[in-house]
Amino acid sequence: MPLTLMSGCATGIGAATRQALEAAGHQIIGIDIRDAEIVADLSTSAGRQQALHEALARCGGRLDGLVLCAGLGPQTPDVGKVVSVNYFGAVELLDGLLPALQRGTAPAAVVISSVASAHLLWDKNPLAQALEGGDEAQAQAIVRGAGEHGGNLAYAGSKNALTVAVRKRAGSWGQAGVRLNTVAPGATETPLLQAGLQDPRFGESIAKFVPPLGRRAEPAEMASVITFLMGSGASYVHGAQICIDGGIDAQMRPTQF
């Protein structure tokens, strides 16, 4: 039975993915701010270190899988927390758990990014230097100083940097024998999306974000792709970002891929 660690497993895409992975035979150790085996706040350095410490203790220093779903949306009141959870909450777990994954059987990791990650170019990302340099305080200051644009910048900027971080690790992780990929969901029926729809700043634009398939995704549709990427059927998929967005990225950027 594969032993897999998950962050953000209590609701939304994470909860659906946990259910799908358990149905596929995985034993899950979950991290979340509630309703999980490890209760930790990934928006703080102390919380991330606590999560790592407890995770390594629970798995005995050996993991077969890692799925990082924890994330915050642009409507989060403190936009600084968005960059902390979305970027540092993923990258620090990735780096901290790589040795445990190297000891696993056919190890694989999947990180949940966003279709928004591709709509902000890396060389135009105001957060790129601070995030890649590990300067959490500076990244928080940038988004908190961006006024009404802070939420969107925090979300798109952190997800763009997260996908870049994964892609830049493809070489070293491949050499370590651990597959690593991202998925990029579009609009998905989750509590996070509902919170965005109810926010007067973002509700209208989110409501208009309708893909060619004409509907939003269900969390289970994300979970099925993540489960595939974690399994033997995806044994040669590494360093990829898979869009699960109903065609919105193709519609918006047909010549960029």
CB 6 within 8 A of CB 15: no
Cα 211 to chain centroid distance, Å, stands at: 21
Q: By CB neighbour count within 10 A (0-12 exposed, 13-18 middle, 19+ buried), where does 139 fall? A: buried
Residue type for 107, please? P
Among 175, 163, 167, 210, which residue's Cα sits nearest to residue 189? 210
Q: By CB neighbour count within 10 A (0-12 exposed, 13-18 middle, 19+ buried), where does 124 fall? A: exposed
Buried b (16+ CB within 10 A) or exposed e, 28-38: bbbbbeeebeb
Longest dimension (CA), the chain: 48
CB 3 within 8 A of CB 63: yes
- 39, 131, 156, 169, 245 from 180: Cα distances, Å: 25, 20, 21, 8, 20
- For residue 60, what are the contacts with CB-CB under 8 A and spacing of at least 6? none
Separation of alpha carbons 184 and 251, rounded Å: 15
From 89, 104, 111, 155, active-site residue: 155
Q: By CB neighbour count within 10 A (0-12 exposed, 13-18 middle, 19+ buried), where does 26 fall? A: buried
Whether 87 is catalytic: no
Which positions are annotated as active-site residues? 155
